[in-house]
Every structure is written in C-alpha cells, then in structure tokens.
C-alpha cells in the first residue's frame, strides 16, 4: 500500500468513527437529542465512590445461597431499591442446595498424604479469616466413599480420553484427577463418569491458574498454592440449569418436585476441587508413562498418567437441603408502554465474599438503579417498564434467574423486550455477547462510551488492543479495518441462560476485563482487598460498565422503534450454517485421512514400539448430508429481513411506526425456539445457540446440527438440519406476515 493511500485510509477510518459517535438507531429524528440528554443526565449521577462503597458493603462477609448473610444482603438490596424510588419486592424460591458435611481426601499409597482442603487467612486480606465461609467443594457432587488408583486425565475433555485410549489406559473403577480449564468444570466429572471413573478430583494447575500467570496472592493477584476454585458441577449443559428438582417450572414452595435420585442433572460420583498444594503430592506419586508435553502443567516434576501405586481415598457427604432463594425484583413502570419490559440483572450470591464475582457487577447494577432513581425524582419516566433483578443462587446453577424465568415464562414471552446481564467486572476491554439482533445497539454504545484509562471510545480501545495483539499482519489489518463491535454468541455461565435459551428473550451479556488477571475466582480471596488492589482500582471500569449498560437500558426503554437488527441475525445464522457445512466437510476429510493412516499401517510403523500404543480404530466414512432445506430457509429469511429492514427505515423516517411493529421486533427471537427443543435436552429450545454438551459454558451455534456432526450421529444431523430449517422458515414467515399485518 502506498503512503498516500495509507493516509487516506486512516482519515477515512477517523471520519467514520467520528460520524458513528453521534449515531443512535431507533429514535425519531426529533427525539435523538432528548435521548442523549437523558443519557448524560444518567451518566452524571454515576459515582465510582458510591460503587466502591456498595462493593465493600456487599462483600463484607461470606454470603452464599441459603446463608443468613445472603438473606441480609438481599434485604439490604431491597431496601436500597425502595429508597431510590423503585417498586421492589423479593420473590422466594426453594431450591436444592447441598453443602459439605464430610470432606476427606487422602493418599493411602505409595506414601500417606492427607489433603489440607483449606485456604488460609492472610493478614493482607481483611475478610479472609471470617466465619461463615463455605468450605472448598463442588456443589452437587454425589455423596461417596471411594478408594481407588489415581489417573491423571489432563483437562478431562473427551479428546483427552482419546489420548488415554491410545495409551491403553482405562479410568474404569479409578479416581481421576483433572486440571481446571478448557471446559466448564462440570464437564470433567461428567466425562469421567461416562468413562467409568468412580471419583473425580479437579485441581488448579499453576500453569493455568497460578504462578505461570504472575505473582501469587498476596504478592500479586494470582492463585496461591492453597487457593481452591469452588463451583457447581450440576449438569446444566446436559439437561437444564436451575433447581435440579423442578425442571421447567418455578421452584415455588408447593411446586411438584422430583425425588433427588430421579434428578437427571445430578452426578453419580463424588467430586472435589483441590489446590495445587494438595494436588502436587498426588501427581508426583503417579507412575505409568510420562504424559505428552501438552499435558504437562506447571508443577516442578514430570507428570505421569498413572494408574499404578498411587491410590487415594475420597469421602464426601453433603447436607442435601432445600434452601430459600431470594430474588430481588425492582420495577419502574413505563409511561407509554408499561407492558413492554426492559430487564437487567446480575446475581448477588457469592461462593464466599465475592467482591469481584458477583459484587462488582451487582454494585454496578445498583449504581445504575440509584442514578435512575435520581432521574425519577427529577420527574423523568421511562417509556417502557424497567425491571432490575438481583438474582440469588447463581453460583450453584443459575437458580434464582432460572426459577424466575420458568415461573413467569408466559408473561415474559409476552412482555420482555430484552434481558441485559452482567457478572464480575474488571479493568480492560469491553466484551459483549448476545443476540445478533442487538449488535447495532451495542456497537453504537461502544463508540460513545469513553474508556477511563485512555480517553478513546471503548470500541476503539478494544479494536486497538485486538489489533496490536493479533498474531499475523493480515489479522492485524483486518481488525484495524473492523467497522463494528463484534459480539459473540451466548453460551452459559451466567443468568442470561434461561432468558435466551429457554424463553427466547433477546439477551446481552456485557462487561470489561483483560487487564485484571487474578486467581481469586471462587475462593476466599475474591475480596474487597484483592479487588481494589488488582482488579479495578478506583472502580473506574465499574463506572464505565454502569454507563454502558445504563445507555443500553435507557435506549431500549425509550426507543421509538426498538433497534433490533434482523439483517445481522440473518448474516449470523448464515455464517453458522456455513460453519456446520464446513465442519461436515472437515470431518469427512479427517476421517478419510485417519482411515488411510490406519489402513496403510502408518500407526504400526510410526508409533514408538516401546510405548505400548493402541492403534486407533477405522471409523465409518462421513456421508454427505442434504443442507438444501437450511439454505432454502436462509434464502427466505433473507427476503423477509430485507423487507423488514425497508419497513424499519420507512417507519423511522416517517416518524410514525404502526402499532405492533415494536412487538413484532422484540418477539422475533422466540421464533427461534424449536417446539421439541434440542435432542435429549428439551429445556434448551433456541436453535441458534446453546451451551455445548461437552463444553459447558462454551457456546455451540446451531447446536442441534453441530453437535450431531461432532458426535458422528449422521441421522440426527440430517434430522436437525430439517428442524432448524423449519424454525428459520417459521421466523421468516413471522417477520414477513407480521410486518405486513402491522402496516
């Protein structure tokens, strides 16, 4: 590229960026200035000091679900909402929540070792020695008392078991030890159980979560040798989130409940998370072959697969209690459209103190609510109803939000315009996941909110960061030329799940991070002290998040025409469709080549004969599938969307949208729900995205088709192509028909 061309391009980019800082879709021309004024007024109330005080107050003691402190916190949050002029109440559910009664882990051979299972208090961390901390455990582990040989399974993913298969190592009847990372934690015991293991340990390896990342706490923020990641292992992605005993319905006092032994999402084997201090002697005692380098973690000895002399005894017993789950729900009724709801939520329950997770997000949410309260007092009223939710019981399995959505499903599907979620927040770069129809909204806001450290827009900062850290020049250039804030799809891991995947409510999950690395996650060290030293000193990114979310809430509450971007939905679905077609092709190619390697004796000739490798088995060839239904449906959707876009533009320009046009827009995502849901997990109904069956938090797009291909279930893949095509045709029909009728 010539120098002159380069500069022309730069100027063009700068001009575009400037033009976009003034862009706001969804408001009639005459109302744009007013919306900016409203948002400025909102911003002027946001105070880092106020957020900091809220964070300190709400994280001042351990407050896990069901604890007295948790109840107190929800009462306090309720009182705040009410003080600020919101119509607030607590809605209570009753959910299964096990807490530890017995936790014993010991190595019985080749040497004795009794695991510590305890994070020590630190003088540098004021709350780390408090009473009321939940011990280190994985919620919804089974009770169990097992003694067995130990096998190291790396991250415990399905592909790790393929490596074990090649080595001829079975985990049947064994206890596995897996390291945290690369999947949601609940996947590890689930896959271990599928392979016949009788118990599972999950530990934080210092390569992934410890001194490899930086100085350990309290010198730095990274996980120290005793730090343990608590967390749920209920099989949310395989069945459903929420209370394990009340799938699909609200866990009200009198709800019909499953017996505990009928609940499909509960594991059958005991699982315990441990520190690298406790893992080290166990791993060191393993014999058997040395692992491949990619399996080696950060502990200072050679890792081995086992099994062998290393034998461990794991005994776990839990109190299987039904506990109250307090959702704080606060409303401001809309002046124009009271039956159109803009929802926004963040959980408040923590594994321990949770100054970062979830209180940084909860304090941000409350600061937004305080600002809106101040605006109310000055006489402002939103056009649509705004509902703020402080969820309880997120940590054990999105309990509070899921039960609430299930309980209010019908009304939500009538009224909910959008659900906007946050969770732990920190210093760094804007990240955004959500329904593709909301990309324009997020894009425009990202170009208007200013990064507190650099003074550029949070869009520009994110783009600059991505560009300078991309691997290749080609990627750097592409990122630098990026015109829009890119949004990922929603998987699981926070309270948006039931909204988008079960109810079909357009949803967003936003936050800042990337310069806030720490190892405090789900430990007693997720404290105000650590947060203010390392995660977001001065709470400036919480304030930035409050503005980001506040603008989104206010725009959705005040838009003349809701800024849903269906052309981006079409584009996204179309991309996903291409991806699954490519996945089938690469699966065919991989199978063909792998079979050729086996058939030509390449494994027999190429393997190290001293290692006892087992040759992989020839796989059935991958058939060709008929993607035409999907392609035809997308073609129809494209037509409908083009038509809708024209109407959108016309309505916006005329300043006179027909009644029902907004309802058409916000209820479109519900058309993405399939009646029968996804195969074997009917609770998940959105055909466009779901948490991966074998990733947990990680999203799978067009999951019905994609996972069938990944699992080599070709008949199901073909059947899911048809299902997804029908759903997309349904959406295309909905958008066309409704749009016409709403003229």
Q: Give contact residues for its own copies (rule: CB under 8 A).
A: 1, 3, 6, 9-10, 13, 206, 211-216, 220, 222, 290, 293, 296, 298-302, 428, 451, 453-454, 456, 460-461, 463-469, 473-474, 476-477, 480, 515, 586, 589-590, 592-597, 599-610, 621
Q: Which is nearer to its own copies, 225 or 340 (CB)?
A: 225
Contacts of 710 (CB under 8 A, 6+ apart): 583, 694
Q: Which is nearer to its own copies, 306 or 434 (CB)?
A: 306
Q: Which is nearer to its own copies, 278 or 724 (CB)?
A: 278
The encoded tokens of residue 243 equal: 């209370």
Contacts of 19 (CB under 8 A, 6+ apart): none
Q: Which is nearer to its own copies, 427 or 555 (CB)?
A: 427
Q: Which is nearer to its own copies, 259 or 599 (CB)?
A: 599
CB 622 to its own copies: min, Å: 11
Grouping H, G, I as helix, E, B as strand and the rest as coil, residue 714 is helix
Identify which of 672, 647, 674, 676 has the alpha carbon closest to the alpha carbon of residue 662.
647
As a whole number of angstroms, the distance between CA 102 and CA 224 comes to: 24
Q: Which is nearer to its own copies, 32 or 167 (CB)?
A: 167
Contact 510, 549 (CB under 8 A): yes
CB 152 to its own copies: min, Å: 14
Identify which of 387, 337, 362, 376 has the alpha carbon closest to the alpha carbon of residue 89.
387
Identify which of 319, 308, 306, 316 has the alpha carbon closest to the alpha carbon of residue 269.
316
CB 125 to its own copies: min, Å: 19
Contacts of 256 (CB under 8 A, 6+ apart): 246, 249
Contact 237, 695 (CB under 8 A): yes
> Angle, nearest 10°, between helix axes 458-469 and 439-446?
90
CB 624 to its own copies: min, Å: 12
Q: Which is nearer to its own copies, 4 or 259 (CB)?
A: 4
As a whole number of angstroms, the distance between CA 652 and CA 645 comes to: 10
Contacts of 225 (CB under 8 A, 6+ apart): 206, 210, 216, 275, 276, 277
CB 475 to its own copies: min, Å: 9
CB 222 to its own copies: min, Å: 7
Q: Which is nearer to its own copies, 533 or 571 (CB)?
A: 533
Q: Which is nearer to its own copies, 19 or 468 (CB)?
A: 468
Grouping H, G, I as helix, E, B as strand and the rest as coil, residue 231 is strand
The encoded tokens of residue 530 equal: 């650590």
Grouping H, G, I as helix, E, B as strand and the rest as coil, residue 468 is helix
Q: Which is nearer to its own copies, 415 or 463 (CB)?
A: 463
Per DSSP, the residues of 255-290 read -----GGG-TTS-SS-EEEE-HHHHHHHHHH--SSB
What torsion, rounded to 10 degrees, do the Cα atoms 227, 232, 235, 241 define? -140
The encoded tokens of residue 587 equal: 């699966």
CB atoms within 10 A of CB 265: 25
Contacts of 233 (CB under 8 A, 6+ apart): 138, 139, 140, 141, 185, 186, 188, 189, 190, 267, 271
**Alpha helix locations (H) across 675-713?**
703-710
CB 602 to its own copies: min, Å: 4
**Alpha helix locations (H) across 453-539?**
458-469, 473-480, 497, 528-530
CB 669 to its own copies: min, Å: 33
Degrees (nearest 5) of the Cα angle 497, 415, 734? 85
Identify which of 431, 659, 649, 623 has the alpha carbon closest to the alpha carbon of residue 545.
431
Q: Which is nearer to its own copies, 120 or 601 (CB)?
A: 601
Contact 457, 448 (CB under 8 A): yes
CB 280 to its own copies: min, Å: 9
As a whole number of angstroms, the distance between CA 58 and CA 77 comes to: 9
As a whole number of angstroms, the distance between CA 101 and CA 534 comes to: 34
CB 683 to its own copies: min, Å: 36
Contact 198, 174 (CB under 8 A): yes
Name beta bridge partners: 343: 387, 419
Q: Which is nearer to its own copies, 33 or 604 (CB)?
A: 604
Contacts of 263 (CB under 8 A, 6+ apart): 96, 244, 245
Q: Which is nearer to its own copies, 463 or 551 (CB)?
A: 463
Q: Which is nearer to its own copies, 256 or 474 (CB)?
A: 474
Cα 123–chain centre separation: 33
Contacts of 571 (CB under 8 A, 6+ apart): 436
CB 515 to its own copies: min, Å: 5
Q: Which is nearer to its own copies, 413 or 579 (CB)?
A: 579
CB 530 to its own copies: min, Å: 16
């Amino acid at each position: 590229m010539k120098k002159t061309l380069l500069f022309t391009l730069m100027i063009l980019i700068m001009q575009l960026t400037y033009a976009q800082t003034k862009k706001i879709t969804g408001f009639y021309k005459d109302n744009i200035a007013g919306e900016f004024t409203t948002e400025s007024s909102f911003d002027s109330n946001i105070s880092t000091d106020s957020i900091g005080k809220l964070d300190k107050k709400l994280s001042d003691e351990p407050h896990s679900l069901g604890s007295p402190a948790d109840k107190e916190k929800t009462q306090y949050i309720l009182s705040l909402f009410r003080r600020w002029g919101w119509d607030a109440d607590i809605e209570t559910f009753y959910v299964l929540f096990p807490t530890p009664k017995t936790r014993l882990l010991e190595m019985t051979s080749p040497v004795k070792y009794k695991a510590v299972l305890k994070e020590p208090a630190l003088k540098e961390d004021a709350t780390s020695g408090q009473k009321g901390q939940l011990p280190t455990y994985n919620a919804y582990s089974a009770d169990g008392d097992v003694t067995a040989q130990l096998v190291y399974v790396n991250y415990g993913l399905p592909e790790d078991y393929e490596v074990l298969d090649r080595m001829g190592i079975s985990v049947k009847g064994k206890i596995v030890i897996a390291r945290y990372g690369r999947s949601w934690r609940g996947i590890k015991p689930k896959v271990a159980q599928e392979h016949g293991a009788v118990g599972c340990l999950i530990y934080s390896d210092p390569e992934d979560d410890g001194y490899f990342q930086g100085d350990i706490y309290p010198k730095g923020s990274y996980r120290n040798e005793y730090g343990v990641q608590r967390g749920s292992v209920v099989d949310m992605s395989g069945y459903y989130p929420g209370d394990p005993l009340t799938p699909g319905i609200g866990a009200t006092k009198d709800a019909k409940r499953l017996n505990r032994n009928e609940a499909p999402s509960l594991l059958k084997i005991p699982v315990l998370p441990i520190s690298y201090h406790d893992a080290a002697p166990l791993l060191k005692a393993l014999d058997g072959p040395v692992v491949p380098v990619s399996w080696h973690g950060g502990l200072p000895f050679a890792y081995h697969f086992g099994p062998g002399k290393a034998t461990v005894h794991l005994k776990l017993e839990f109190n299987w209690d039904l506990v109250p789950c307090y959702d704080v729900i606060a409303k401001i009724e809309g002046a124009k459209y009271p039956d159109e709801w803009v929802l926004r939520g963040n959980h408040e329950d923590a594994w321990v103190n949770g100054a970062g997770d979830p209180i940084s997000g909860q304090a941000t949410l409350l600061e937004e609510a305080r600002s809106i309260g101040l605006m109310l007092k000055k006489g402002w009223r939103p056009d649509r109803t705004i509902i703020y939710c402080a969820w309880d019981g997120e940590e054990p399995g999105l309990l509070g939000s899921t039960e609430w959505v299930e309980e209010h499903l019908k009304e939500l599907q009538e009224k909910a315009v959008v659900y906007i979620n946050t969770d732990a927040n920190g210093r760094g770069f804007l990240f955004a996941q959500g329904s593709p129809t909301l990309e324009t909204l997020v894009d425009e806001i990202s170009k208007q909110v200013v990064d507190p450290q650099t003074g550029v827009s949070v869009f520009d900062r994110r783009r600059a960061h991505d560009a300078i850290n991309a691997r290749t020049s080609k990627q750097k250039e592409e990122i630098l030329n990026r015109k829009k804030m890119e949004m990922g799809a929603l998987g699981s891991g926070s309270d948006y799940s039931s909204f988008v995947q079960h109810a079909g409510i357009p949803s967003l999950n936003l936050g800042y991070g990337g310069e806030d690395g720490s190892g405090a996650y789900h430990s007693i060290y997720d404290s105000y002290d650590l947060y203010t030293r390392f995660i977001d000193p001065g709470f400036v990114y919480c304030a930035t998040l409050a503005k980001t979310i506040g603008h989104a809430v206010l725009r959705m509450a005040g838009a003349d025409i809701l800024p849903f971007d269906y052309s981006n939905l079409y584009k996204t679905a179309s991309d996903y469709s291409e991806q699954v077609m490519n996945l089938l092709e690469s699966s065919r190619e991989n199978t063909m080549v792998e079979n050729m390697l086996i058939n030509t004796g390449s494994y027999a000739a190429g393997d190290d004969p001293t290692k006892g490798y087992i040759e992989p088995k020839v796989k059935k060839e991958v058939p060709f599938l008929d993607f035409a239904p999907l392609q035809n449906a997308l073609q129809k959707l494209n037509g409908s969307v083009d038509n809708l876009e024209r109407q959108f533009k016309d309505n916006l320009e005329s300043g006179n949208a027909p009644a029902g046009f907004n309802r058409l827009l916000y209820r479109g995502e519900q058309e993405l729900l399939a009646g029968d849901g996804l195969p074997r997990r009917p609770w998940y109904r959105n055909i466009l995205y779901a948490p991966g069956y074998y990733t947990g938090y990680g999203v799978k797009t067009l999951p019905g088709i994609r996972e069938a291909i990944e699992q080599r279930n070709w008949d199901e893949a073909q059947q899911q192509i048809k299902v997804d095509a029908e759903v997309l045709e349904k959406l295309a029909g909905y958008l066309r028909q409704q749009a016409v009728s709403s003229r």
